Chain A
Amino acid sequence: MKLFDPHIHMTSRTTDDYEAMAKAGIRAIIEPAFWLGQPRTKVGTFEDYFQALVGWERFRASQFGITHFCTIGLNPKEANNPNVAPGVLELMPHYLGKDGVVAVGEIGFDDQTPAEEKYFAAQLELANKFDLPVLVHTPHRDKKRGTERSLALVKEQRFPEERVVIDHNNEETLPLVLATGCWAGHSIYPNTKMDEPRMAALVKKYGTTRMIVNSAADWGVSDPLKVPKTAQAMKDVGVSDADIETIVWNNPIAFFGQTGRIAAADLGEAAKIDQAQLFEGNSVLRGQTPVRT
């Protein structure tokens, strides 16, 4: 079965991860722009990060037959830093038109401050201008209230709900999201957020409509194979193959493909580039050694 992980921070991961992901059937991924584990001190480091997301990391993924997309945004945590926030917002229009950029994100709330709300709203406006969907992070602390505030802001701004995915849902927030037109993302983590059996139970209870799962793997304790593992967990409790495929492949493509930047043809592109390189590689008998310079 083909798998899509629509939230994974590959700049923090190794080539071993890419190999294991490809072997497990992951064909495409989305890497949302987020924070780096420690606060950035300059706008310029955001720009280099954005360039890696549309450049080097895209190529790196293609070397393992995986098509890489990204989202560009000012994350809620760093929206609180007046030294970088306005400058990052100014940079974004240079990147939002690019092919590999499929949404604005991660945006949303962390500490639920006025600054976070201001930049959340400003980025909804940018998404509107560029005709892009948005990926909304929900906070770890005071999560239910943060989710309610996010949904309220989307409504208040009259941003189309079908272009919003609210991420990192749990048993308490999912019904709130499904009551709107927004999509619901679930980050399957080793210890926190959501796990495989709980996710399978949510699918049994709520069905597949607007349901998305991801690994949200990053530089912390996390697992880039959580999408395949969740597919297996759903199968173990009797979810049909068609329903599993809807959640781990069709739904992320339907949501992030809304503005035409994810074409089925694109999803074969990485594999084709890889084959071309193997062809060149074979011509000098290097076999499958990935190109390194």
Chain B
Amino acid sequence: MTSLLDALPSTARAWVLSVAPDDRIALLGAFSGAARNVGKDPCAVPERGTWGADELARAALLVRGAASVSPEELYDRGDNRERQAVLRALPLLEAPERFLPLAVEACRTNVLTIFEAIACENPYPQRHFPEPNWNQMVLKVAFNGLALARIVGLAARSNDELARMASDFAAERRAAGRPVPADLGSVMKGETT
């Protein structure tokens, strides 16, 4: 949490801190209106990639106000950027395993930026996803042409079923005469691209 606030420019940090964490209505309004108060400039978040200032502020608002608002309601009624912020904040919330259904559902999105927010530079899936969901997520990262290196804990959670799925995916692409992502080899045991 401290690192989230530290990553924000000082005026934006002051704005986040000005929102009372126990005032539900103020939180909901600030969450929606964050971009109009702090902008969307890219901010580097240590070990978590680059977020927009609005995403960072929203994630901080959620972490601070977690007793007053739920990530589920903010996600369900959120626009794309609000949803991204919720997903990025998940590993920072207390007892994060509670939000597994939300995180898994988010992986089913067609909006690439939302998918990236849960799948890339986010330790949540590594820590909490059951193997079938983890494997589907990794394959979807490859399928969407995103770099597999952006997944946190890829090597630590390698498994035989994932290796098979990755190999089958590579075979499918070759059969279709389409290129195989160059970084897929890392998850395909015993096969190189």
Contact = CB atoms under 8 A, between A and B. Distances in A.
Interface in B134-161: 140, 143-147
A283 B80 contact: no
Determine chain B's interface SS by DSSP, over half rule.
Answer: helix
Contacts of B110: 56, 59, 292-293
B143 A58 contact: no
A56 B109 CA distance: 9
A162 interface: no
Nearest to A95: B77
Interface in A48-104: 51, 54-56, 58-59, 94-95, 97-100
Nearest to B179: A285
Interface string B64-101: 00000000000001111111000000000000000000
A60 to B, nearest CB: 9
B182 A284 contact: yes
B112 A286 contact: no
A59 B146 contact: no
A284 B179 contact: yes
A57 to B, nearest CB: 10
B147 A58 contact: no
Contacts of A246: none
B165 to A, nearest CB: 15
Contacts of A51: 77
Contacts of B81: 99
Interface residues of B, number: 28
Given A97-B33, A98-B32, A284 B79 contact: no
A181 interface: no
Given A58-B79, A59-B112, A97 B145 contact: no
B144 A291 contact: yes
A154 B40 CA distance: 35
Contact of A56 (B32, B111, B115): B111
B80 A293 contact: no
B179 A273 contact: no
Residue of A55, A260, A277, A286 with highest tally of chain B CB at under 10 A = A55
B179 A286 contact: yes
A226 B78 CA distance: 32
A280 B77 CA distance: 29
A97 B113 CA distance: 21
A54 B29 CA distance: 16
A261 interface: yes
A162 B111 CA distance: 36
Interface string B16-32: 00000000000011001
A257 to B, nearest CB: 12
Given A99-B35, A284-B181, A291-B144, A55 B80 contact: yes
A25 interface: no
A281 interface: yes
B154 to A, nearest CB: 16
Contacts of B79: 54-55, 58, 98-100
Contacts of B111: 55-56, 59
A54 B80 contact: yes
Interface in A245-293: 260-261, 269, 273, 277, 280-281, 283-286, 291-293
A130 B81 CA distance: 20
Nearest to A278: B145
Contacts of A99: 32, 35-36, 79, 81
Nearest to B178: A286
Contacts of A54: 79-80
B143 A293 contact: yes
Given A97-B32, A98-B82, A100-B79, A281 B145 contact: yes
A42 B112 CA distance: 30
A45 to B, nearest CB: 15
B29 A97 contact: yes
A75 B143 CA distance: 40
B171 to A, nearest CB: 16
A273 B33 contact: no
24 contacts: A54-B80, A55-B83, A56-B110, A58-B80, A59-B80, A59-B112, A59-B113, A95-B77, A97-B32, A97-B33, A98-B79, A99-B32, A99-B79, A99-B81, A273-B113, A280-B145, A280-B146, A283-B182, A284-B145, A284-B181, A286-B145, A291-B144, A293-B140, A293-B144
